[in-house]
Amino acid sequence: MGNEFVRAWIRHLHARGKLSRFITCVSADPLEWLLSRLPLRISGELRRRSFDVPSHLVDTHPLRESLRLLAQKLKLSSLTRHESGWMCIDAVCRDLDGYAAQRIPALKNVRAVYCYEDAAEKTFEAAASAGLLRVYDLPIAYWEFGRALMQEEAARLPRWEPTLVGTRDSREKLERKTREIELADMVICPSQFVLKSLPPALTESKTCVVSEFGSPLAPPEPEPEMKREQGGKLRVLFAGSMTQRKGLADVFAAFKMLQRADVELVVLGSPIAPMEFYRSEYAEFIYEPPRPHAEVLTLMQSCDALILPSILEGRALVQQEAMMCGLPLIVTANAGGEDLIVEGATGFLVPIRSPESIAERVAWMADHRARVPEMGREAMLRAATMTWDAYASRIFDSIERRWTR
């Protein structure tokens, strides 16, 4: 899908001369002549699928994913409906997995395949037949652990259950996830939280590696009118899909507890339910719709702190993006960035399902406004120590050690 951790990994492999082929759905790199002629909204979406490796190493299978993107733009929701739509994300992943599996026998001098969750089963089966090492990237907590958490949330907050899309995964999809990880020789996790979500039988039988994501570069200085206002209201940003998987219900409950005129909540993200539902839960938040990444960073620079009390994540990249914009964090360990927090210096860890703890930490920041900018600077320094090259090197070195056993 063009995620930054995918791009970082294949760049690193290519730099070491170890990338035989990158198999994906859509690559924008051969389409530059077309992108310059398309509206910015469309070309910006496609440019996210740019991979910075020679085009002859990129093997694309674009039809179904291209139609999915088009159906999203046209709001043809029946075509992208969870699991059942012909253009849904699950169908795209299965289609790409089948295509990659067919390509395996033709690849020469290949020693390993590296696949991502939900697009690995058929590829790993073909790789096993060819005697190849199989490396599985698990970007979010393992499904059994995550499903239990989501079922608990559905029972705890039934009004928010429609936002928990993962509770509707079919038995077939869950069995496919199990089959994928059983076929893997190695499992790559982006956080200790993901590693801890794995059943002991898997951690004992597989080589499991934690490699934390890198941080983006610090964004340019914002225009004067977009800078955070010193001494004004404490602006707390929630950024992500508007779901209880990311703890939004707990954020709303915390702000209802606070009832402070010197604090405001900014919510940036895609609604899962009608906006009227969110307003009925907490009416006073400031809504900001999704926007290009550069504009997200600009909005971050107008805020004072990021709040993300997630119930289930892998490693939410928005945490490091916010830190590089000078925002301290109020997050849970389940957001996957426990290592980012130096308590009281770069932010605060709060328990999951604890609006009271969230309210306490927001109130502390509001009562100690002079400390918040310094916390933001500490957060930036902490995030800057984490690079994408280090992320990819840890994975590569782990695979090398596995080969030399």
CATH number, residue 228: 3.40.50.2000
State residue 224's pLDDT score: 61
Quote the tokens at residue 293: 């990444």
Higher pLDDT residue, 218 or 338?
338
Closest residue by Cα to residue 176 from 117, 89, 114, 103: 117
Q: How many domains does the chain have?
A: 2
Say whether both 329 and 182 belong to one domain.
no
State residue 60's pLDDT score: 94
State residue 70's pLDDT score: 84
Of the chain, the percentage scoring pLDDT greater than 70 comes to 93
Q: Answer whether 132's CB lies under 8 Å from 111's CB.
A: yes
Say whether both 320 and 354 belong to one domain.
yes
CA distance linking residue 396 with residue 114, whole number of Å: 11
151 pLDDT tier (thresholds 50, 70, 90): very high
State residue 44's pLDDT score: 65
Q: What's the mean pLDDT when you consider all of the chain?
A: 92
Say whether both 293 and 271 belong to one domain.
yes
Residue 34 CB: number of other CB atoms within 10 A? Answer: 12
Higher pLDDT residue, 124 or 46?
124
Say whether both 152 and 229 belong to one domain.
no
Closest residue by Cα to residue 340 from 289, 391, 379, 282: 379
Say whether both 54 and 73 belong to one domain.
yes
Instruction: Note whether residue 307 is domain-resident.
Output: yes
Residue 217 CB: number of other CB atoms within 10 A? Answer: 8
State residue 207's pLDDT score: 97
* Tens of pLDDT, residues 33-91: 565 666 666 666 666 788 889 999 999 999 999 888 888 888 888 999 988 899 999 99
Give the single-character DSSP code of 287.
E
Instruction: Note whether residue 129 is domain-resident.
Output: yes
Q: Answer whether 289's CB lies under 8 Å from 352's CB.
A: no
- Domain extent for 234: 224-384
Instruction: Note whether residue 21 is domain-resident.
Output: yes
| Token pair 């939900």 in the structure block, residue | 118
State residue 281's pLDDT score: 97
Is the predicted pLDDT of residue 30 greater than 80, yes or no?
Answer: no
Instruction: Note whether residue 219 is domain-resident.
Output: no
Say whether both 255 and 392 belong to one domain.
no
State residue 191's pLDDT score: 97
Is the predicted pLDDT of residue 234 greater than 70, yes or no?
Answer: yes
Say whether both 315 and 380 belong to one domain.
yes
CA distance linking residue 295 with residue 325, whole number of Å: 12
Instruction: Note whether residue 25 is domain-resident.
Output: yes
Query: What average pLDDT score do residues 377-395 get?
Result: 97
* Tens of pLDDT, residues 344-355: 999 999 999 999
State residue 334's pLDDT score: 97
State residue 238's pLDDT score: 98
Query: What average pLDDT score do residues 260-282 get?
Result: 96
CA distance linking residue 278 with residue 280, whole number of Å: 5
* Tens of pLDDT, residues 329-381: 999 999 999 999 999 999 999 999 999 999 999 999 999 999 999 999 999 99
State residue 36's pLDDT score: 65
Say whether both 378 and 393 belong to one domain.
no
Strands ordered across the beta sheet of 207-210: 112-116, 133-137, 186-189, 207-210
Q: Answer whether 357's CB lies under 8 Å from 307's CB.
A: no
Is the predicted pLDDT of residue 225 greater than 60, yes or no?
Answer: no
Say whether both 247 and 174 belong to one domain.
no
CA distance linking residue 242 with residue 77, whole number of Å: 18
CA distance linking residue 284 with residue 213, whole number of Å: 34
* Tens of pLDDT, residues 282-339: 999 999 999 888 899 999 999 999 999 999 999 999 999 999 999 999 999 999 999 9
Instruction: Note whether residue 254 is domain-resident.
Output: yes
State residue 345's pLDDT score: 98
Q: Which helix (H) or strand (E) holds 76?
A: none
Say whether both 60 and 195 belong to one domain.
yes
3-state secondary structure of 132: coil
Q: Answer whether 163's CB lies under 8 Å from 334's CB.
A: no
CA distance linking residue 170 with residue 174, whole number of Å: 6
Instruction: Note whether residue 378 is domain-resident.
Output: yes
Indicate the pTM of the whole model.
0.92
Say whether both 264 and 179 belong to one domain.
no
Region for residue 216 given its phi and psi (left: phi exceeds 0; alpha: psi -120 to 50; beta: otherwise): beta
| Token pair 């830190």 in the structure block, residue | 323
Q: How far is CA 359 from CA 236, 307, 334, in A?
A: 11, 11, 18
CA distance linking residue 357 with residue 234, whole number of Å: 17
Instruction: Note whether residue 274 is domain-resident.
Output: yes
Is the predicted pLDDT of residue 167 greater than 90, yes or no?
Answer: no
- C-alpha of 300 from chain center: 17
* Tens of pLDDT, residues 79-122: 999 888 999 999 999 999 999 999 999 998 999 999 999 999 99
Give the single-character DSSP code of 314.
S
Quote the tokens at residue 8: 């970082």
Q: How far is CA 221 from CA 232, 370, 371, in A?
A: 20, 21, 21
State residue 403's pLDDT score: 83
Alpha helix ranges (H) inside 316-387: 318-324, 355-367, 372-384
Say whether both 374 and 395 belong to one domain.
no
CATH number at 72 reads 3.40.50
